[in-house]
Chains A and B, each alone.
Chain A
Amino acid sequence: MLGLLGAISASILAILLVAAPASQAASPAPTPSPSNQTFQNNISGFLRDDTRAPLAGVTITAKSGDFTGTTKSTANGAWNIGVPQQGTYTVELDESTLPKGITLAEGQENPRQVTFSQTSNLSVIFAFGKGIVVEQQNFGQNLLNRLVAGLSFGLLLALASVGLSLIFGTTGLTNFAHGEMVTLGAVLVFAFNAIGLPFWLAILLSLLGGGLFGYAQDRGLWRPLRRRGTGLVPMMIVSIGLALAVRYVIQFYFGGATQQLPFAQSPEIQLGPVSISPNNLWSLGISAVVIALIGVVLLKTRLGKATRAVADNPALAAASGIDVDGVIRLVWITGGMLASLGGILWAYYRPGVTFDMGSAILLLIFAGVTLGGLGTVFGALIGSIIVGIFVELTTVFGLAADLKYVGALFIMIVVLLFRPQGILGRRERVG
């Protein structure tokens, strides 16, 4: 419960900061229509001509069904239309309001259909002037980029699923609250950063908070339940209750909006043949190092040996003098920290922090764990990387972006058909 308290006190500060701009918005603003303030979803963009000079006072309309939102671009060229719900909108730029001599670039569709995918903000880019060609990537280039992005995504999934798999291996619990542990990591960084702590300290505290939450969960909930001899299925349902409660506690303090962590905007850089954003590159490196570290600890140290022994057979491990409860406590702390780290990286990958960002990838984490084999740590790693790459690659091969998670979930079901124990799993676990 300590972790919860920490989360709550931190998020109170966060909500204070979220509330501040909201109260400003309540005071009558000069130009924008009130509808722009009341919605959580936004369609936005910047209007700049081919010399990068901002275009002000251009009218843009977004329409869907009987909803119509209109706005004018501001002095720095920014425009933003609040919309009631995510979906498909027709965005039209009124060309008669463009400054003299400026026209839309050739091939720029106007009006055009735009669609939200996963996030609450949708940016629409209009290119102006002559000679601007929207760069078309060739297939091989695209494939390579998505492959690297998928690897980065898969490794951040692996951070969460290695923790989940360790917990499953040692306690048998399928933890549905793991998604909330992921969310907590990102939310804590946002909260600590919002109260003015330096970025590195915010990340450090968030990792500590994640570890603390894992410890508190084990100490306050799961260990007493294990002592009572509660079955695995009831524990699974308890974890669902916990997931619901924690998710809405986070929403209670954090709000429903999408927030950004510092340095979330990073333009892609060219690295040899691959174009990748520095954030993704960092994410790739950090998660690879951390996972390698976990692997070394598990394989080479006494502690790792003890963990594997508990996962293999708790009773036998206890009989050989291993402190089973201690190992499980450590596994929960590690799992919490790994999930926090995964959450921070996930916030940069999307990019954005929301109260349900963790539960959005919970099933992908499960898919990774199940693919690799429930309870096997290296299986979880391989499974997650496969899921991550698969999710990114399906869009290259023509699956719509809003269906990209379907492919991964579908593959999981198909694998269960033919190899239910997963890639590295053992048959006796299938039951």
Chain B
Amino acid sequence: MDFGFILASAAGEIFSPTTAAYALAALGLAVHFGYSGLLNFGQAGFMAVGAYGFAISTLTFGVPFFVGLLIAVIASSIFALLLGIPTLRLRADYLAIVTIAAAEIVRYIVTTNQLTSVTGSANGLAAFEGGFYSMNPFPEGSYFGMNNRDFFIRLVGWALVAVCCTLVWLLMRSPWGRVLKGIREDENAVRSLGKNVYAYKMQALIIGGVLGALAGMVFTLPRGAVQPANYGTELTFFLYTCLLLGGLGTVLGPVIGAMIFWVVLSLTQGILYGLIESGAVTWLNTVQAGQLRYILVGVALMLLMIFRPQGVFGNKKELAFA
């Protein structure tokens, strides 16, 4: 077994664009669940709205990159509004069920054959990333072992993560953020102080949703394709695992959580495949090894929630639930 290769590919996951996308989306969930106590189980839907909003506006309407970006952001804000209006007055588990249902509705709609000309149905859309890579300032060549395209998307992805983290950090230490945390702790107390709880929750839902939409774009750009199968409910649950790994009410927690998530996934895959190839493990095949990793994710999510709900960095006092 080549441990050097396994470790190198695991380390490569730390700064991969996918990790950046997970970090952004989990940061959005931190705004929702960690800071505001909103149980959003439809973050995959927000990511899909972002990815498809960008891809469709680029391919169908031929808009330039930044207009596409703007459309994706606006689309996700509208999606958050539509979700928030019926559910933000209700209890947490209603919001959870409605958001997960809405995310599935989005996935069914982009999968249906009725809209194949726009969404590409199950095959998805491709070749919309040209506008992004044409802005690449780096000439061809090798940058830390990556080609200029890989390097550019990593740089942009992680710069975006850094900017969003700073923004969320600034927001959460502002008076606005304090009200939000107050709502998480005791909604009625905040309402009795004359704050419009509903409006604050809606703003938080929109901000987290926009982060999700940006994550959807970072997720789909390096692949050069967007496919509905990637945006199932599992994606949201993986994001929750990332968030809980790092810590709920923290800014860096989701980022570190996403890094841990992908490094552990890559390590287990590398080690399991290595063991299978070397013949040390004969009771599973490579397909099953892939499934074993997701069994581990599920078990990890349970154990984290039971034994260390505050995650690696979190503060137990800052939990959205008692």
Chain A residues close to B by CB (< 8 Å): 64-65, 85-88, 115-116, 174, 221, 225, 230-234, 236-238, 240-249, 251-252, 256, 359, 363, 366-367, 370, 374, 400, 402-403, 405-406, 409-410, 412-414, 416-417, 420, 429-431
Contact = CB atoms under 8 A, between A and B. Distances in A.
B90 A248 contact: no
Given A87-B121, A420-B94, A402 B291 contact: no
B199 interface: no
A410 B321 contact: no
B105 A249 contact: no
A416 B87 contact: yes
B299 A245 contact: yes
Contacts of A88: 113, 116, 121-122
B104 A241 contact: no
Given A248-B294, A249-B295, A87 B123 contact: yes
Contact of A405 (B90, B108, B288): B108
A244 B90 contact: no
Contacts of B104: 363, 405, 409
Given A238-B306, A240-B240, A406-B108, 12 more contacts: A225-B306, A231-B321, A231-B322, A237-B301, A241-B237, A243-B237, A363-B100, A403-B114, A409-B101, A409-B105, A412-B98, A430-B90
Contacts of B62: none
B123 A413 contact: no
A65 B241 CA distance: 36
Given A87-B121, A241-B305, A406 B109 contact: yes
B87 to A, nearest CB: 7
B92 interface: yes
B122 A87 contact: yes
Interface string B287-300: 11001101101111
- For the residues of B in contact with A, the DSSP-based class is helix
B233 interface: yes
Nearest to B37: A233
B110 to A, nearest CB: 11
B291 A244 contact: no
A416 B102 CA distance: 13
Given A252-B292, A403-B114, A430-B94, A359 B301 contact: no
B297 A244 contact: yes
Contacts of B108: 402-403, 405-406
Interface string B105-125: 100110111101000011100
13 contacts: A87-B123, A231-B321, A236-B39, A238-B301, A242-B298, A252-B284, A363-B101, A402-B114, A406-B109, A413-B86, A413-B98, A416-B86, A416-B87
A402 B114 CA distance: 9
A367 to B, nearest CB: 7
B317 interface: no
A46 B230 CA distance: 34
Contacts of B240: 237, 240
A86 B90 contact: no
Give the residue among A87, A234, A244, A246 with the most B Cβ atoms within 10 A: A244
Interface residues of B, number: 55
A252 B292 CA distance: 7
A239 B171 CA distance: 32
Given A241-B298, A248-B298, A363-B104, A400 B91 contact: no
Interface in B52-106: 85-87, 89-94, 96-98, 100-102, 104-105
Contacts of A242: 298, 302
Interface in B239-275: 240-241, 244
Interface of B: 39, 85-87, 89-94, 96-98, 100-102, 104-105, 108-109, 111-114, 116, 121-123, 233-234, 237, 240-241, 244, 284, 287-288, 291-292, 294-295, 297-306, 309, 320-322
Contact of B97 (A231, A244, A370): A370
Given A233-B92, A237-B244, A252-B288, A400 B122 contact: no
A240 B301 contact: yes
Given A86-B122, A241-B299, A241-B301, A234 B309 contact: yes
A406 B304 CA distance: 33
A235 B240 CA distance: 14
Given A416-B87, A416-B94, A430-B94, A245 B116 contact: no
A174 B93 contact: yes
A412 B101 CA distance: 9
A235 to B, nearest CB: 8
A53 to B, nearest CB: 34
Contacts of B109: 403, 406
B65 to A, nearest CB: 26
B321 A243 contact: no
Contact of B98 (A115, A244, A252, A416): A416
A410 B284 CA distance: 42
Given A88-B121, A237-B305, A366 B320 contact: no
Nearest to A405: B108
A244 B301 contact: yes
Contacts of B96: 174, 236
Which 4 A-B residue pairings sit nearest by Cβ, starting from the closest? A245-B298, A244-B298, A241-B301, A241-B302
A244 B294 contact: yes
A416 B93 CA distance: 12
A251 B123 CA distance: 24
A115 B291 contact: no
B305 A238 contact: yes
B195 to A, nearest CB: 19
A15 to B, nearest CB: 9
A234 B321 contact: yes
A259 B100 CA distance: 28
B306 A230 contact: yes
A234 B109 CA distance: 31
Given A233-B320, A237-B244, A252 B291 contact: yes
A116 B91 CA distance: 38
Contacts of A241: 237, 241, 298-305
Nearest to B101: A409
